[in-house]
Chains A and B, each alone.
Chain A
Amino acid sequence: MEKRGQVTIFIILAILIIAIGVLLYLFYPRISSIFGKESNNPSAFLQNCLEDKIEDTIVNVSLSGGSVNPEHYYLYQDNPIEYLCYTNEYYRTCVVQQPMLKTHIESEIKNEISETVNECFIELRDNFENNGYDVVLREGNITFEILPEFVMVTLTHELTLTKGDSEKYETFRILVDSELYELIGIARSILDWEASYGDVETTTYMDYYHNLKVEKLNQMDGSTIYILTNRNTEEVFQFASRSVAWPPGYGIS
């Protein structure tokens, strides 16, 4: 009798576990996509495939002043940080090196993710073909836009899936939460001050933007590292500037 009771309990537990599993699969999109439901939804597949790469690229670009491989940089704690405004002279205001910061960053990120985009489309095609679809994929353009509170990748690849019925997709949009737009806006404003006066009062920004932390770190050679942090999301954008640098002594040697 005891054994029969135990078996019943095990059966009930097993049914419960299966039921929970089915419910999670049906109603929780992220979990369902992990188990392959995205194979029926190309947009979700691409979102899954690209999201991490986009996030990582944003972090890398943000930590190095807006460029994937900075050309002219200050080495701060072993990380190269791009000079966005620079003069090699003492006492003079800097020359702007990157006047179209947002456009430049968009282009850098787009170039960095484009290979992954292609890989994702190949993976997508293979995935659908393995599921018995006829897949026609025509390559399109990639655009990357930094917008308030998120970034958006638009892919104009044309995808036709046929399995009995035919489905055609012409545009895919991948959205990733990011405060980069806001941080770039602050960086631009700081650059304005650096180029005009050679300095900036960081507390003004923190008074106005309550979730913003601005760190200004003067270096021995006259460079300044700015680190902008969103206190809520902990996203960081940092860049270097050298403007109105002070020399040791009179600066005439």
Chain B
Amino acid sequence: MNKKILMLFFIVLFLGFAINSVNAATSFCCEKTINGAWCQNAPESECAENFRKVQTSCEATAYCKLGTCVDVKEGLCQENTPQRVCEDNGGAWYNEDKEQLSQCRLGCCILGNQGAFVTQNRCKTLASIYRIESIFRNDIKNQLECVMSVTSDVKGACVIEKEGLRDCKMLTQAECRDLQTGNSQNSGNLIGDLFNGDEDELEIKISFHEGYLCSADNLATNCGPRGGTICHEEKVYFTDTCGNIANIYDYSRRNNAEYWTYIVNAENSCGYGQSNAESRECGNCNYYAGSICKAYRESGSPAPLYGEHICADLSCEYKGERYEHGEVWCDTNTREGLDFALPGSESFKIICYNGEITVEPCDPWRATICTATEIEGFSYATCRANLWQDCTSQKNEQDCLNDEKRDCIWIEGYSVLKDDEGKELKLKNLEEEEIRASCVPKYSPGFDFWNSQSESSSICDIGEYYCVVKYKYNIFRDKETIEEKRELQRKFCVENCKCIPGYEVGDAKNCEKGCESNAKFIESVQGICGSMGDCGISVNYLGNEGYYEKYEIDFTEIE
């Protein structure tokens, strides 16, 4: 009489920890914690002595209510500040958002030819720091409008004449006027510098020539053309022989008399709008296009055809590729990338600014992932939230692959969704057929699986796969004989032979169902299990293997 033995192989990929039922400690609002943090919801044991604590959330307390802290002296407002923290530090605390406080309302603070979008108090503080008069305009509603509203004074040659000797400085009209009237704090120094300190005894005539350079022939000053180059406002400028800034360095116009007579703005200078990086002939550098003025010897750039300065290249090189200044792109710490997220793998924003690369990790546990877009070869990347949380609860392929709502993938093979009795639930594919498939995270989340309170086991358990292997036995090969020898298991199985470690196609002559190789089967199960998070058989991001058994095998006889 043939008896059927049913032996159960419980294959549990990655044995996790038992779920620890953690009794969440009752939360108190600690005015200060023992580690020195103000106003935190924490267990009572973490509250510092001699500070207030109440068994409720901090939002419900008076002492830790968050409001706006106003630094009256500096004219600055800081939200999300507890009252005590604010007042202990000398601030004025208000139980309102800063938008509702008149002290925190922003406006345009005009200081000379500069504009700052700040509070009125801040405007007064800045005026006193810089010792200039300020105008506060609350009709201007944003930073850009504020900056645009400030018109800079016209520039030109300020000619200072004494006894036929004509010296010259490039100044604004107002600065030159101050020299004439002696209003400027620096006017005495300036004239003193020009005439070796004997200005008191001289009759000095000062005249302003709008739009002219000091090197203009018709001004007949003692300043001539071609005094060298200098870095000014991030561009390379010619200087005249008195050291005054002239026009933007343009080698082709170095001998052009007109170029040394009138002020030419950047728009009408060489290479406008381009970076002109490493150009030996043009100094119209552009920070946003990737260049800035530097002394060529310091920046390692080629020597310019004239002078000592050049538009230094701000681009970067990363892993053999060139990136422009301002480009941001993604990288990971594993060769496989995040599509095969291994424990410990992370994504990073790589940033090229000022010829220097900085690496900015996205949030840990792959909670955020780096995604890049490229416009005309210029890359920009951000760390965005990894929306993996509701993948496994999706019941059809369409919802699963809705990338506006979640980051999931669809894997056919078996379903991680179970009914109330623990039986596998089939999901609908795009053709509305019910099949064995799972919707799992595209970028599997990371877990602190080494931590006893970790959720890893509860999440990984969703990906558990139970495989029932059936054998036929008779008088010559009973249960005990088969249980002892793996090769007999592979030879005499009839169903789900794929679940027996090392099974190859054809090992069992009577296999009726589930007869593919064990290696192939493991690969498909691992695909689903590994996508649940740091679960399953895996190596970490460094390529090191884990410690735990891959399977749990149990033999049970079923009558």
Contact = CB atoms under 8 A, between A and B. Distances in A.
Would you call the interface of chain B mostly helix, strand, loop, or mixed? mixed
Contacts of B42: 88
Question: Looking at chain A, what size class is its interface with the partner chain?
Answer: 35 or more
Interface string B54-79: 00001000001010010101101011
B129 interface: yes
A96 B79 contact: yes
Interface in A199-247: 201-203, 206-207, 210, 213, 215-222, 231, 245-247
Interface in A91-121: 93-100, 102-104
Nearest to A102: B74
A157 interface: no
Given A100-B69, A196-B79, A253 B368 contact: no
Interface string B349-372: 001011010101111110110000
Nearest to A223: B364
A96 B354 contact: no
A246 B364 contact: yes
A221 B365 CA distance: 10
A221 to B, nearest CB: 8
B353 A206 contact: yes
Contacts of A103: 71, 73-74, 89-90
Contact of A95 (B74, B80, B287, B459): B80
Contacts of A216: 360
B130 A96 contact: no
Contacts of A59: none
30 contacts: A71-B36, A87-B40, A89-B40, A95-B37, A95-B39, A95-B66, A95-B82, A97-B38, A97-B85, A99-B69, A99-B91, A100-B69, A100-B74, A100-B91, A103-B71, A103-B74, A103-B90, A148-B129, A188-B78, A192-B79, A195-B80, A215-B360, A218-B363, A221-B364, A222-B364, A246-B363, A248-B364, A248-B445, A251-B455, A253-B455
Interface string B481-521: 00000000000000000000000000000000000000000
Given A97-B37, A98-B85, 20 more contacts: A86-B37, A86-B38, A88-B41, A95-B81, A97-B85, A98-B89, A102-B74, A148-B130, A188-B78, A201-B382, A203-B351, A206-B353, A206-B354, A222-B364, A246-B363, A247-B367, A248-B456, A249-B454, A249-B459, A251-B455
A202 B85 contact: no
B326 interface: yes
B86 A99 contact: yes
Interface residues of B, number: 64
Contacts of B382: 201
B268 interface: no
B389 interface: yes
Interface in B5-33: 20, 22, 33
